[in-house]
Amino acid sequence: MSGTTRRQILTSIGLMGGAAALYQAMTVLGHAAESRFTGPPNLQTHRKGQTVLVLGAGLAGMLAAYELRKAGYSVRILEYQARTGGRNWTLRGGDRVAEMGGAVQDVKFAAGNYINPGPWRVPYHHRALLHYCRAFGVSLEPFIQLNYNALVHSSDTFGGKPQRYRDVAADFTGNVAELLAKSIDSHTLDKELTQEDRARVREAMRGWGVLDGDMRYTSTLHLGSRRGWDQRPGGGPDGAPVPVSTSSLLDRHDLFAPPVWQALSYFMNYEMQTTMFQPVGGVDMIGKGFAAQVSDLFTMNARVTRIAQDDHGVSVSWTHTETGATAVEKADWCVCTIPLSILSQIDVQVSPAMRAAIGAVPYTSHIKMGLEFKRRFWEEDEGIYGGISFTSQEISQISYPSYGFHKPGPAVLLGAYTKNMAGLDIAGMTPAERIELGLKQGEVFHSQYRKEFSNGVAVAWSRMPGSLGCCAMWSEESRKQHYRNLTTMDGRVVLAGEHASYLGCWQEGALLSSLDAITQLNKRAQAN
């Protein structure tokens, strides 16, 4: 390994485990890090009343406005949409989704049901977001990530039949343990392990993989405690459990297929580890908590058309999206949180280096579908309470609600969370066609889909006018070339948002970038 470069290592990990695994490897190698939040910034301005114009009322923009005003700045916020929160967004019955191209979807969910088209969960180590949730009174509840009774599906494995996550995990672990034990017994690892370590690893494999006395992964009574039973333990004279038969264990060849082990490794990634939280009532409760702190600063429906600056200040031209009226706002400083996918189309007076950085970062094309069903059949029929099921189909994932357990009546699950090219392909469909695809592919997991379906909504982020994509897609090369130029204050303009962080696609990244941006601005303002 001495001749292997970090780039080669990261490339291999990325190909095997995907973006989340790559991010974790980058963290270990010092290229990325968890949230560094230790507390709100200590901004001290000696010139009260300096003005700041914040562009965008997502979390990054609202946090910048909140902290800058606390420090004595006079702040205003221009927001393109008619609502605050940006991609922090929840859809409920009565809402309407209008996308580029003219398609409109009216959300018909029953009262109390919702779907989060953008962010939907908060890791325990996203300290900035958790801090402001506490400060702003946003109630949180557990978000169930890993459910051993959820399902894993690949069209090319196990005859195309979904398997319980529990069974896949047990059989994968057991097979790996057996293979490693055989390697020890055949002295393959004598050069790698001492005699004492070989004995310890062998015993560890027996327990970890639930192997029998001959170090084989096969049906035993003890395996039932890991994998379940053909007949569960009961009461009375005939209550003895019956373990699954050896013939029921999953095929080793299929277990080692990429879609299968990638589903198993998903929850090992640092950003996906428990404990996870969600706001009670929808993720936009976070956005509403932020908005309540700066409610008097907003100008809504303001489409920015030009950002200019000189040695004395910043001027921003904008057009009202409903009336067509135009205006120019002036300020001493500007915090711009407009997504790069939109900002790259605006006349922005910044250095060539920053301008190149703004245009260098593409955005993801996620699709999220909220499907409402007449009843919680996944709970009532199959005992699935929260968690995620995985598939190799275009819908990629379905996630069961982590609230309202045992509640009668309709409920909404996340019927698709697509990525990459699948997201672009499905975005080209009509909303009705997207929902039909979600139902067709969801039937692979649950035969009740068609019978129980009520209504749905399918959000294509590449068609959302406010962002034209879900989140920024930095590559290692683009970060090396453009990241510092993008995140360093340029004259009187500084950028913020998830795109200006190493925690891209997460709300925490947006907040951390905002805190860094206003720290830079405050330092520049004091030196000015």
Q: What is the pLDDT of residues 92-144, one digit of tens each?
A: 999 999 999 999 999 999 999 999 999 999 999 999 999 999 999 999 999 99
- Same-domain check for residues 175 and 140: no
Q: What is the pLDDT of residues 276-320, one digit of tens each?
A: 999 999 999 999 999 999 999 999 999 999 999 999 999 999 999
Q: What is the CATH number of the domain that holds 444?
A: 3.90.660.10
Q: Give the helix/strand (H/E) hosting 66.
A: helix 59-70
Confidence of residue 33 (pLDDT cuts 50, 70, 90): very low
Residue 503 maps to a domain: yes
Q: Which residues pair with 370 in a beta bridge?
A: 414, 457
Structural domain boundaries enclosing 307: 51-79+294-360+474-527
In the block, residue with structure tokens 């921003």 = 316
Q: Can you give the pLDDT at residue 9?
A: 44
Residue 28 maps to a domain: no
Q: What is the pLDDT of residues 341-373, one digit of tens each?
A: 999 999 999 999 999 999 999 999 999 999 999
- Same-domain check for residues 343 and 478: yes
- What's the domain count of the chain? 3
Q: Can you give the pLDDT at residue 528?
A: 83
- Same-domain check for residues 371 and 435: yes
Checking if the pLDDT of 16 tops 80, the result is: no
Confidence of residue 163 (pLDDT cuts 50, 70, 90): very high
Q: Can you give the pLDDT at residue 22?
A: 43
Q: What mean pLDDT value characterizes the chain? A: 93
Checking if the pLDDT of 186 tops 60, the result is: yes
| Residues 16/259, Cβ–Cβ less than 8 Å | no
- Same-domain check for residues 378 and 279: yes
Can you tell me the distance from the alpha carbon of 445 to that of 162, in angstroms, rounded to the nearest whole number? 6
Q: Which residues pair with 87 in a beta bridge?
A: none
Give the pLDDT mean for 514-521: 97
Residue 391 maps to a domain: yes
Q: What is the pLDDT of residues 206-227, one digit of tens each?
A: 999 999 999 999 999 999 999 9
Q: Can you give the pLDDT at residue 180?
A: 96
CA 254 centroid distance within chain: 28
Residue 513 maps to a domain: yes
- Same-domain check for residues 368 and 332: no
- Same-domain check for residues 416 and 501: no
- Strand positions, DSSP E, 84-225: 91-92, 96-98, 104-106, 114-115, 122-123, 140-143, 151-153, 163-164
Checking if the pLDDT of 4 tops 90, the result is: no
- Same-domain check for residues 101 and 240: no
- Same-domain check for residues 279 and 383: yes
Please tell me the pTM assigned to this model: 0.91
Cα angle for residues 479, 480, 486 (degrees, 5° grid): 55
Checking if the pLDDT of 34 tops 90, the result is: no
